[in-house]
Structure 1
Amino acid sequence: MAFMVQKSYNHAFLSLFFLTSFALMLIIYLSPVLLQDYPSRLHPKTRTTRILATNTSAKLPESSTVKLFEKASNGTLRIALVNMDADSDRVVHLSRLGRAVRVGFERVSESVKWSNLYPKWIDEEETCRRQKCPKIPMPDFEDLGRFDVVVVGVPCRYPEEGWRRDVFRLQLHLIAANLAVSGASLEEEEEAEVKVVVVSECRAMEEIFGWVLQVGAAFEEDR
């Protein structure tokens, strides 16, 4: 009997080990990153398109991560796709992991400039004219429900001057962040988390995502 208990324990341990390993591999698969502060100076082999994975919190509860990959293994993940090409190989692959939903949204007007959002001076007393708040359109998050993973494609204008201050880039990050927050708030479990994957050759906006998982570029070539 003791042998059987030990054997069952070993099988359970090995099963958990392989599941956790699979989970980590999927995280890495979804989140290889180009450290792109100076991408033009990197070796050509490291300049392929990368993914930046971000998270809504700095902690990664093991139970939440395991549940995520249990859903991936049985094809029940709910995946939000923001500004992603539906015919791309990456989206086709993600669709096999569960239900992939394209999130539609109205693109922010080109008339909205960064200086409108972050002016050098704010007339709080409105002595000159009445202040107006620029509109950045957002989807109806309540109608969309919750997701396990949010994948957002963000164009990179680097090395153009002012590439960091791109209003459309900001809009995409805000949509992804709101999808993650609204999805996590709908989850009944306290440890619920929503993973956010930013597909871009530029870094994710650290002003919005304060915790970033970065994986070496060598993994992409090996894969």
Structure 2
Amino acid sequence: MDNKRMKIGLVHTTNPSIGEKTTYGDQEVDMVDVHFEKISENIKWSDLFPQWIDESLPWDSLDCPEIPMPSFEEYRDLDLVVANVPCGGGKHSKTFEDVLRLQVNLVVANLLVRSVRKKNGQVFVVFIGSCGPLLEIFRCDDLLWHEENYWIYKPDLKRLQQKVLMPVGSCQLAPPFLKPDVSTASHKPKEAYVSVIHSSEDYVCGAITLAQSIIKSNTTRDLILLVDDFISKKSLENLKSAGWKIKHIQRIHSPYAQKGTYNEWNYSKLRIWQLVEYDKLIFIDSDFIILRNTDGFFAYPQLSASGNSRHVFNSGFMLIEPSTCTFEMLMKQRYRVVSYNGGDQGFLNEMFMWWHRLPTKLNFLKDFIAILDGKRDIPDDAYALHYLGLKPWMCYKDYDCNWDVLENQRFGSDSAHGIWWRIYDEMPAELRSHCELSPQMEANVRMYREMARNGSYPDGHWKIKITDSRSHFSHYLTNTYFPYE
């Protein structure tokens, strides 16, 4: 390579000296306009990130809108790429500018990983524009300099190459290119599963059961649990016995959540980006259980998750890459960016607009809104089960008490309920002690059960005799008539 000649590719910008040779000192510079067809204005963000796709089809048979790219063979010897990046309106606005912004970012990323001059690792990119590049494609860790509307990056090309192998949106499943070759890698990736519990001990039982289910899947990864000061010493000891490595955090308030609601402090989940001793993490909410080994999915890049509804992902199971600057950016933006649901999921969907769709079987939502009757069985190939609605440990073992709450009947599944309790039954007795039914929990369950009885709910679960030994009334109820029963 001629060290005295630099070749600069210009993307989505105009410059009167394009095609001319310019000299800066003893450095000759060729500036080349990178030609590509602008994406059709008929393409909407929802076309790239649809609410639903048919996952029964092979991943590469699912159609995504075409995002035109340059003829890369013409631009394989670039030293620097300069791109003018348009701003978009954000996920809620979903303007054409958002689609165009994504196209420009993907054009630049593909140019960089295909440059023959990348062998020395000295490929740079300059972004021009008030919004800068997409965080999801160009990591803040690779930012060298930023001032006003100018951003200079030296990308990690191996990470960037993984990005350009992904589909252009969640209109396709992330491709199954698992288990990358690490035999010649100088750094063996360090990876872990992580969960968070905070503000109360309501989810200690869930976290214990989750850990036991992950271990049962024969994982080879670490298990990390972030906890705040609301978790007692006894609970911490048993969480450690269950398999978690404990890390203490200060919880983070959710700026747009209502006081006293379930998501008031769930921005605490952002702390997972501070675990920079790990290269990748799979975050799992503590109302999950793992049914099959999911270690292979660490191969995917940030942010990979299963769909939730509309064009958004569910943040209960997601692959992320820890980063101090990403955490700091999220903390700064949490007051500026409004979460659609007041919690972390709405916020993260705004911050990571470009995400990669994992199969729903990795985050099988216990939600049967489209199935009014039937057994509501869990698919045999499900990897992980996400317990929406009333949690199993907050109910009787005898049946799923979501059936006793009209607005929760969509979450009712005795099959899923039974799967959770089978894992519970296999746990050591000292771990099961954290899943006792508190008097307040049972008071709630009994109130719902009475309402179901009074309403003569047709599913008839309220007729089932309670035999759960965790009940404070179980012995009395199995031998004596009680109006709740």
TM-score band w.r.t. shorter chain: 0.5 to 0.7
Task: Please state how far the C-alpha of 1:132 moved relative to its aligned partner.
Answer: 2.3
Contact 2:19 2:30 in 1 (8 A): no
Q: Distance in 2 between matches of 1:114 and 1:80?
A: 27
Matching residue's letter, 1:169: R
CA RMSD of aligned residues (A): 3.4
- Residue 126 of structure 2 aligns to a residue in which SS? strand
* Equivalent in the alignment of 1:176: 108
* Equivalent in the alignment of 2:8: 79
Aligned residue runs from structure 1 range 204-223, under 5 A:
204-210=133-139, 211-217=142-148
Q: Would you say 1:116 and 2:65 are equivalent positions?
A: no
* Equivalent in the alignment of 2:84: 153
Q: Would you say 1:191 and 2:120 are equivalent positions?
A: yes
Q: How many residues align?
A: 139
Moved more, 149-158 or 108-117: 149-158
* Equivalent in the alignment of 1:5: none
- State the structure with bigger RCO (CA 8 A, min sep 6), 1 or 2: 1
Task: Please state how far the C-alpha of 1:168 moved relative to its aligned partner.
Answer: 0.7
Task: Please state how far the C-alpha of 1:163 moved relative to its aligned partner.
Answer: 6.1
Pick from 35, 56, 63: which aligns with 1:132?
63
Q: 1:140–1:197: structure 2 CA closer, same or farther, 3 Å change rule?
A: same
Contact 1:80 1:150 in 2 (8 A): yes
Task: Please state how far the C-alpha of 1:102 moved relative to its aligned partner.
Answer: 0.5
Matching residue's letter, 2:99: V
* Equivalent in the alignment of 1:22: none
Q: Distance in 2 between matches of 1:168 and 1:95?
A: 30
Q: What is the aligned-residue identity percentage?
A: 37
Q: Would you say 1:141 and 2:69 are equivalent positions?
A: no
Q: 1:198–1:80: structure 2 CA closer, same or farther, 3 Å change rule?
A: same
Q: Distance in 2 between matches of 1:113 and 1:161?
A: 11
Contact 2:10 2:31 in 1 (8 A): yes
Task: Please state how far the C-alpha of 1:108 moved relative to its aligned partner.
Answer: 0.6
Task: Please state how far the C-alpha of 1:114 moved relative to its aligned partner.
Answer: 1.2
So what's the TM-score if we normalise by structure 1? 0.52
Partner deviation per Cα, 1:136-171 (whole Å, 9 max, x = no partner): 010111222211000011122458944697111111
Q: 1:167–1:103: structure 2 CA closer, same or farther, 3 Å change rule?
A: same
Q: Distance in 1 between matches of 2:111 and 2:19?
A: 21
Contact 2:39 2:68 in 1 (8 A): yes
Contact 1:156 1:163 in 2 (8 A): no
Q: Distance in 1 between matches of 2:119 and 2:10?
A: 25
- Residue 179 of structure 1 aligns to a residue in which SS? helix
* Equivalent in the alignment of 2:272: none
> Higher strand proportion, which one?
2
Matching residue's letter, 2:122: E
* Equivalent in the alignment of 1:42: none
Q: 1:161–1:100: structure 2 CA closer, same or farther, 3 Å change rule?
A: same
Q: 1:118–1:165: structure 2 CA closer, same or farther, 3 Å change rule?
A: farther
Matching residue's letter, 2:113: V
Q: Distance in 2 between matches of 1:164 and 1:203?
A: 17
Contact 1:94 1:100 in 2 (8 A): yes
Segments of 5+ residues of structure 1 without an aligned counterpart are: 1-66
Q: 1:94–1:203: structure 2 CA closer, same or farther, 3 Å change rule?
A: farther
So what's the TM-score if we normalise by structure 2? 0.26
Task: Please state how far the C-alpha of 1:135 moved relative to its aligned partner.
Answer: 0.3
Task: Please state how far the C-alpha of 1:192 moved relative to its aligned partner.
Answer: 2.8
Higher Rg:
2
- Residue 31 of structure 2 aligns to a residue in which SS? strand
Q: 1:132–1:158: structure 2 CA closer, same or farther, 3 Å change rule?
A: closer
Matching residue's letter, 1:180: L
